[in-house]
Structure formats: structure tokens, C-alpha cells
Amino acid sequence: MKIVLAQPRGFCAGVVRAIEIVERALEKYGPPVYVRHEIVHNRHVVESLKAKGARFIEELREAPPGALTIFSAHGVSRKVEDEARLMALPTIDATCPLVTKVHNESRRYVAQGRILVVIGHAGHPEIEGTLGQIEGKAHLVQNEQDVDGLAIAPDAPVAYVTQTTLSVDDTRGVIAALNRRFSDIQGPETRNICYATQHRQTAVRELARVADVIVVVGARNSSNSTRLREIGEQAGLPSYLVADGGEIDPQWFRGVNVVGVTAGASAPEVLVDDVVEALKRIAPSDVSVLDGPEESVSFRLPAELAL
């Protein structure tokens, strides 16, 4: 059996930065530190940080008075920021800089008097944070049908932003529907879309050209990992989302010659290695890596944690 790894795969720069923020905060201030929501959507990452002294909470009231609190990579609403100030909680913001860019764009469009449309998944923490960063009403759309249902005049000034874990391909149809519907509309350039999401989706499509089965390493509550599995299925291949090698089912690979393996942006490479070892136990395997872009993006840490 041949195992082919996608390139790129796994951690993106925003995830690397968020995890490093928690680790450095633990080193500098000592445990425990409190993190609102999972720092990234991966159980293995969360458990590893718990073992070092991080405590994960969903509401700020769960943090003791004066406890250092970190906002996750997904970003938070202004209400959460205000609540932290009222509680006098010292905070460090681990929001991905690309998510922060979406927040800033949203506020700029609203300040220009435009009606804001946010493209994304209802209930996703990034979307909740983005909607909560905007003064006044914003409209959430998840698909082209939602665009048709918007109660906005066709000639009204409109602007849109998108969830960062959606790629250009994911949003193309919705953006086209918005442009058909509204005569005065603005939105970010496609180069402002999250590079990591686009790269990983493109890599899965390339993987589907050579593989018989696709395995995506990632968490089930990870939007970008779930999308990678869907892309494999859309290419006509059996595609499976697994947390680690323990979830590999040998039945999936009967008669299979080539297994394609990739990982979502919040899945560490150690879990990819675990899956590869599980596959090798099923059949003797050669491992290769597809050609793909080498990512060199990195984001600076908050000033209080910089070396």
C-alpha cells in the first residue's frame, strides 16, 4: 500500500501562535491560566495544554477573580471583552491575526454606512465573535438561498466579509449571488482570504487525483477539517475524518492501493504520524509527500509574551 501525504497539511500560523501564547503564558506567569473556549479545535492539543496547567472555560465567570485569561484563536465579541474589563481579569488575546483583520474590515464597512453581510456557519465561535464586534445589525448568510432571503433593498450600500475557515472556493457561489442581488456592494479581495484554508483544500484536490481513499486528521468540531473530508467525497473518493490512529478502521482499506492523508489546520503533525503508523500496521506501506507550497507565514506574539 502507498501512503501519500498532502502538502501543506496541519497547523497554520494562527494555530501555532495561539498554542505558543498559552505555553508562554504558563511559563511566564505560572499555572493555572484560563482559556475561554478551546484555544483551537483539537482535543489532543487541548489535553496537552491542560496537562501543563491550562484551564478551559466557556464563560468568564468560571475564572477566579484576577485570573489570567486568554481569548482563543477564534476571536471574541466586544461583550466578552467588556465583561473581562468589568471583572478586572487580566487578558491576553490569542485571536488569529487574520480573524482580527476581518473584525477591522467589518467595522470599517459599517463606519462607511454599509449594511454588513457575514458569510459563515451559524454558531461557529469565529462567527459569534465577528458578529459581536460590530455596532448595530449584521446579516449572516450560509448559502445562496440565504442571500435571496435578505430583507435589504437591491440598491442599498452593502459590504460582505467571510469566515476565515472558508476558502475562495467555499464562498464563490455566495459572493456571486450577493453581486447579482446588490448594485452597490464591496468585499475583501480574494488575496485577503485565509491562505491556510485555501492551500489545504487545494492540496486535498491534488491528493484526490492519485489516491483511492482520503483520510483527514482533525476534530469533528473543526470546520476546516470537516470541509477537507467533504472535498474528498465530492471528488468521488471514500473520505474519513479521524482524530488519531486509534480511529482507523482496517475495513476502509481492503483492496486499496493508495491512501491519501491530510490534516486540518488545528491538527498537529504528531497525529498525522500516528495515523501513518496505524496504516502501516494494516499493510506494509511506502510513504511519500505530494508537491505543494511550503508555508513560511508567521505571526508575532503579543508584546507581553515576546522574548
Nearest 10 degrees: Cα torsion 243, 246, 249, 253: 80
Contacts of 141-145 with C-beta under 8 Å, sequence gap 24+, read: 141/117, 141/174, 141/178, 143/173, 143/174, 144/173, 144/174, 144/176, 144/177
pLDDT of residue 307: 67
Condensed to tens digits (0 to 9), the pLDDT of residues 37-86 reads 999 889 999 999 999 999 999 999 999 999 999 999 999 999 999 999 99
Condensed to tens digits (0 to 9), the pLDDT of residues 115-153 reads 999 999 999 999 999 999 998 889 999 999 999 999 999
Q: Which of 43, 33, 86, 30 is nearest to 63 (CA)?
A: 33
Q: Would you say 214 and 253 are in contact if contact means Cβ atoms under 8 Å apart?
A: no
Residue 38 and residue 42: Cα distance in Å, rounded?
Answer: 8
Distance (Å) of CA 165 to CA 19, 58, 62, 116, 227: 18, 21, 28, 19, 9
Condensed to tens digits (0 to 9), the pLDDT of residues 250-287 reads 999 999 999 999 999 999 999 999 999 999 999 999 99
User: E-assigned strands of 150-232?
Assistant: 157-162, 184-186, 213-217
Q: What is the phi/psi pair of residue 199, to 5°? A: -60, -45
CATH hierarchy code of domain 13-95:
3.40.50.11270
Q: What is the phi/psi pair of residue 217, to 5°? A: -95, 120
Catalytic residue, chosen from 47, 126, 144, 295, is 126
Q: Would you say 91 and 71 are in contact if contact means Cβ atoms under 8 Å apart?
A: yes
H or E element that contains 275? helix 269-282
Q: Which of 45, 164, 28, 44 is nearest to 104 (CA)?
A: 164
**What is the average pLDDT score of the chain?**
94
Q: Which of 291, 248, 294 is nearest to 1 (CA)?
A: 248
User: What is the share, in percent, of the chain residues with pLDDT greater than 70?
Assistant: 98
Cis peptide before 284 (omega within 30 of 0): no
Looking at the domain covering 2-11+195-289, what would its CATH class be? alpha beta
Q: Is 32 exposed, middle or buried (0-12, 13-18, 19+ CB in 10 A)?
A: middle
Q: Which of 50, 18, 10 is nearest to 34 (CA)?
A: 50
pLDDT of residue 151: 95
Give catalytic status of residue 62 as yes or no.
no
pLDDT of residue 218: 96
Residue 272 and residue 245: Cα distance in Å, rounded?
Answer: 8
Quick one: pLDDT band at residue 188, thresholds 50, 70, 90?
A: confident
pLDDT of residue 192: 62
| DSSP string for residues in 109-156 | HHHTTPEEEEES-TT-HHHHHHHTTSSS-EEEE-SHHHHHT----TTS
Q: Which residue has the cell 508575532?
A: 300
Residues of the chain with CATH 3.40.1010.20: 2-11+195-289, 98-192
Residues of the chain with CATH 3.40.50.11270: 13-95
Residue 50 and residue 71: Cα distance in Å, rounded?
Answer: 15
- CATH fold, domain 98-192, is Cobalt-precorrin-4 Transmethylase; domain 1 (3.40.1010)
